[in-house]
Each structure stands twice: as C-alpha cells, then as structure tokens.
Amino acid sequence: MGGEGPGAARIAVDLLGGDNAPAVVVDGALQALRADPDLHLLLVGPPEATHGLFAMLGVAERHRVTVRPVQHGIRMADDPRGAARPGNTVRAAVAAVGSGEADAFVSAGSTGASVTAAALELGRWPQVRHPALVATVPAVDGPVVLLDVGGSMEPRPAALAHHALLGSAFAAVGHGVAGPRVGLLSVGTETGKGDPARRAADPLLSALTLPRDGRYVGLVEGYDVCVGGRADVVVTDGFTGNVLLKAIEGAYAMAGGPPAYGSAPRAAALLGVGGTAVVCHGAATAADVASGIALAAHLHRRRAVPVISGLLAELIGSQEVTA
C-alpha cells in the first residue's frame, strides 16, 4: 500500500460496517480521497462493491486505493464477540493496522465489534482496562469533547476519573486546546448532585493532575454540552454518553443542523488501544464516513495515540488511578 510522503495517511476502512454499507462507505471513501491528496485507503470487503469507486477516480488517483477481499462483515444485530474470529471485515481492517500496512482503521459497524477487534489485534494500553470512545460535539461556544460515548457501559468512579485524564489529553493533543477545562456530567452543578458513582467521582476528579495544564471545573449539566463555554471536555459513562450524543444529533437534525456545522468530526476516536481507531455512527451518511476517515488521518498525523498514551502513563503512574 502506498503513502510514504510526510503528510501521507494510510487508512483501512471496513466496507461492510454500517446500516447502509457498502454503498455509503464507498461514497464516503470517494469524498475523503477527493478532499485529501495525501490519503491512501485500504478498503476491506467484497471487491465487487468498489467497482464504482474506481470508475469515478482518475487514473492518477487509483494508485491511492487498495482493496483487500473479505466477504463477511459483523452485522449490528450479531454478537460483537464474533469480531474475535478471523475472516470478517472489521477484524481484517484492524489487523492491517497491527501489521503496519495501515496507520489507522475506520468502521461504521458495530461499536462492540470494533472495540473487541481493536483490543485483540492492537492490545490495550497497560494503564487502561476499558477503552473509551471520544466524540467531539459541535456547540454554540465551540466544540466540546464528550466521553465515553459507548466504549464501556461501566459508570465506576475510577473509570470516570480515567476518562477525565483521557479527555483532557485528547482535547489538547487532538484539537490543540490549551489548558482544557474538564467537567463531570450530572443532574446539577452543586456539589453532591447525582447518583453514587458521580458523587464518588467528583472528589476524585478534583484531586487529579490533568494532562497539558487541564483543570477540573466541577459538575456540569446536559445543556453545557450543547452550549459549551463552561467546559472543553465533559466526562460521563458510555451508556449515558451514547444516549446523550444520539439525542443531540436528533435535536440538531430537527433544528436544521448543529451550530458551526462541519467544525466537529462526525465520528468517535477509540482511546486505550495500541493504534488509531475511529468508529462512525451505524446510520452514518457518506459525509459522516468521510469525516471519520479525515479524523483518523488527522489523529495519525498528530501522533495523537502515542502522545496521549505517554501522557497518561506518566500521570496515572504518579496518581494511582485504576480504571
């Protein structure tokens, strides 16, 4: 696979991931290729699904696309543990990252399958028990980093503290935010608000030293995610975060689109595994898939994963945070 230039990014894409795959994935790949001349794609799936893509590419562009024939994907209704078996598109796409053939992988398929495949093929960071999905939500006062949005459903206080470290590092490294402000999502901003996990996590986050001069600003509410201004990073568990993210997307759709549309990628980064992984919504459009591919390329070019992993190892080692 090509991609030797200093700005080149080699992205493996799961062709069979998503409700409308493979057509929408192929369309998204075409959009991504046209937007980024240094992008190289490894499309993992049935070769017959890509014939239209090659027909629409110029002769000079075709060398930037390689197809890896894999006939079977993991459907949304399938047990995500099926990703542990070889011979499916998501496992093959992640394996390309593990072997060094690709710099990152993207899938709009089952989140559980993507997380399972990434953990098995790439391994987890020593300091992370449960990888987290990190989304960037467009808000009135600027994008807000929200995590977890589906990587793990456990709302344990230590996991929430871990998310604060990850989110602060991601905002600084991935988005260039200076001194990220981190808030904990709850049902009120006063101390003591929330369920037992939130009440226990609040003092844990207050005591943390966060990466890149991040600071904990206390409890925040749901509207702070949409409005922004109070926090650059909002921390919650994967169940709550996933529900909130989809509710925000639905509200923006009814309102005619989010504020500053296009300023935030329509995909989530998986942090805590030994490689760059991006997961798109199962109902992703072609534009969403293209956005996910662009996010994967951006994170690779910034070396976000190794930098964030290094920051986390230093801080967790000195603070004894266990997730």
Helix axes 304-319, 157-175, angle to 10 degrees: 140
pLDDT of residue 136: 94
Portion of the chain with pLDDT greater than 70, in percent:
94
pLDDT of residue 51: 85
pLDDT of residue 319: 65
What is the domain partition of the chain in residue ranges? 1-128+272-302, 132-268
- Show the tokens assigned to 162: 């871990």
Whole-number Å distance between alpha carbons of 118 and 248: 27
Contact 177, 213 (CB under 8 A): no
In CATH, what number does 1-128+272-302 get?
3.40.718.10
Q: Which residues of the chain have pLDDT under 50?
A: 2-5, 261-262, 323
pLDDT of residue 263: 61
pLDDT of residue 4: 44
pLDDT of residue 71: 87
In the beta sheet, which residues pair with residue 10? 40
Residue 274: closest CA among 112, 97, 123: 123
pLDDT of residue 261: 46
The domain at 132-268 falls in which architecture? 3-Layer(aba) Sandwich (3.40)
Domains 1-128+272-302 and 132-268 share a fold: yes
